[in-house]
A and B are shown apart, each in its own frame.
Chain A
């Protein structure tokens, strides 16, 4: 009989019994509502063991890949270790700053060497914990299959205490405390022929840079279109690298976009507007949106109306912290 390990308890799951029923039978509190696999209130994550596919119906592919399942639909065929989605698996790792350079006037590239295993997928984010306890999230720009170091792109924010510290005080050779990677915005191999649209603003390019290199590394054959937007030309970065990537990979297309300023080398206007104007039918496309929260929100709606399914839209809005 399969068992379910949850928090400090281990519960036996009777034949034909769901994980939700087994856990609540023991008096454990699992949020639930429809109990029919529809509302997704009882979303859980298996950190050990594989939940049956029938318990993952309707979930985003990237959630499925991380072992998420619906407890009300899960009649396990093997033993599972399960947690609630917000009980993040807190893994803290020490990482040394090996390399730092400016990618443009206010975006700093940091490359870190983790001490110990650090598993991530290109496009996920990690957290940096400063010695005084302040924690901030940053997207990962590297690809673990290609790069030996973890790369971050950190934009200096006015009044951003963490970014100021990272820009002004942290030096090569210093050690940072980082948390395990999380987030659902990443490339998944398995559909190499599908077309991909990516729109990012500012340092929202970081996760997209990782996702694109990861997709090309995996041999993605479908079209990949990247629209990177900034207020002006000075805010763009990795331009020559992206042009070079496009030259080597005919399926990859790069469109630098600026709100202000003219030039043959750039598209004039907001990146998301230009992208959606050029791609009016996104039916069966995968869409990645990263950067300014308002851009992400409005582009998500536009991409959906252009035919992309919600489960194929991966968004990573950069939410600014209110506390300094």
Chain B
């Protein structure tokens, strides 16, 4: 965060916690109607899932976080066993980009978010 400085911080530019609250509903909706990935979300507790997605969005928005990758790994182990792969990860990032585009976020910022999301790929896919 310090390298970009206070005024140009991605998280603040996106709107901070309020933006995460706004984005999480739209993002989760997109994921649930996307037939490429929605079967991974069958039967999960929606509130708990939304809380996890808020944590994920906070991280990829460059917000304050305690991301270590360990929880991300554990949360996806059983999904990887069921076939979760790069194409599904790409679909999630695509939905993330579309969510931000709907909210009027600039393409450069979307690219920055996608780059942060990219850092979680190996944890998500348990590699």
Contacts and interface: CB of A to CB of B under 8 A. Distances in A.
Contacts of B51: 38-40
Interface in A2-33: 33
B106 interface: no
A37 B17 contact: yes
B87 interface: no
A38 B54 contact: yes
B33 A34 contact: no
Interface stretch (A100-108, A152-160, A163-171, A297-305): A297-305
Interface in A75-99: none
Interface string A24-66: 0000000001111111100000000000000001100000000
Interface residues of B, number: 21
A310 interface: yes
Interface string B13-45: 000010011000100110011000000000000
Contact of B32 (A35, A39, A305): A305
B58 A38 contact: yes
Given A58-B21, A304-B29, A310-B25, A34 B66 contact: yes
Contact of B55 (A39, A301, A304, A305): A39
B51 to A, nearest CB: 5
A36 B65 contact: yes
Given A58-B17, A305-B33, A35 B66 contact: yes
A300 B66 contact: no
A310 B47 contact: yes
Contacts of B66: 33-36
A309 interface: yes
B78 to A, nearest CB: 20
A57 B51 CA distance: 12
B110 to A, nearest CB: 21
Contacts of B50: 310
A40 B64 CA distance: 15
Interface of B: 17, 20-21, 25, 28-29, 32-33, 46-47, 50-52, 54-55, 58, 63-66, 71
28 contacts: A33-B66, A33-B71, A34-B55, A34-B58, A35-B66, A36-B58, A36-B64, A36-B65, A38-B51, A38-B54, A38-B58, A38-B65, A39-B51, A39-B52, A39-B54, A39-B55, A57-B17, A58-B17, A58-B21, A58-B54, A301-B46, A304-B25, A304-B29, A305-B29, A305-B33, A310-B25, A310-B28, A310-B47
* CB-CB nearest 7 A-B residue pairs: A38-B55, A36-B64, A309-B25, A38-B54, A38-B58, A310-B50, A39-B55
